[in-house]
Amino acid sequence: MNEKIIVLSPHGYIRTVDFMGGDISIVRSARVSYNADWRSGQDEGSDEKLIKYLWKNKHTSPFEHVTITFEIQAPIFVFREHHRHRTQSYSEISSRYTELPELFYIPEVSRVGVQSTKNKQGTMIIDDPDLLVKRAGEISELEQHCKKSFELYHKFLASGQPRECARFVLPVNTYSRMFATANLLNWFRFLTLRTAENAQWEIRQYANAMLELIRPIVPVSVQAWEENK
């Protein structure tokens, strides 16, 4: 397959590694229930209509017959949210086996804002020049902190500390890398939650990129999902 990649930051990206199936797989698996899978692919209009009917009416098992694997490089805190979707299979780089590269995420100053007063886990963005100046100083402190953390990490490794202990000093905005595999139904469930406006901004960027990588694989199914989220 032609690998496709979307770069999200100086260090973050998501890439399609592999997939099995497409829209035709969904209609074929749906029609086998009445021994008519042979009809699939003969009438694109009929196939499209069936896919949209299935999704709209929550007949979702046929969507499990498409699987997609992504390679994702993202900050650890993004992975911690991603891993809450326990219907996926994950293989992540192990910092017990290998030294982590010195890559860490630094947000844009305008992204930070203040703690939301209406959402215990959310952010409010306020148009306040004084606040932006304050946040700029704090972002600079964050960057220096990350550099110091990696400095200590390398020092511990050089002293012979085991990798599994030296990593204790690294912050959760350190980048990690993983493969994530799921069937299309569970990717849609992931996207429904993680493209929502109340999802954390960073994982929302990855979810939106994932959607654009899924779209050419199953364009009709994506359209059905978008119309009936």
Positions marked active-site = 194
Rounded-to-integer distance, Cα 195 and Cα 205, Å: 8
Q: Which residues are paired to 124 by β-bridges? A: 114
Whether the Cβ atoms of residue 11 and residue 103 lie closer than 8 Å to each other = yes
Q: Which residues are paired to 20 by β-bridges? A: 67
Mention every residue, 6+ apart, whose C-beta is less than 8 A from residue 121.
200
Q: Classify residue 2 by burial, with Cβ atoms within 10 Å: 0-12, 13-18, 19+.
A: exposed
The token pair at 87 is 């219907």
User: Which amino acid is located at 192 in the chain?
Assistant: T
| 93: nearest Cα among 192, 170, 188, 27 | 170
Whether the Cβ atoms of residue 105 and residue 75 lie closer than 8 Å to each other = yes
Whether the Cβ atoms of residue 169 and residue 153 lie closer than 8 Å to each other = yes
User: Which amino acid is located at 41 in the chain?
Assistant: G
Rounded-to-integer distance, Cα 142 and Cα 205, Å: 21
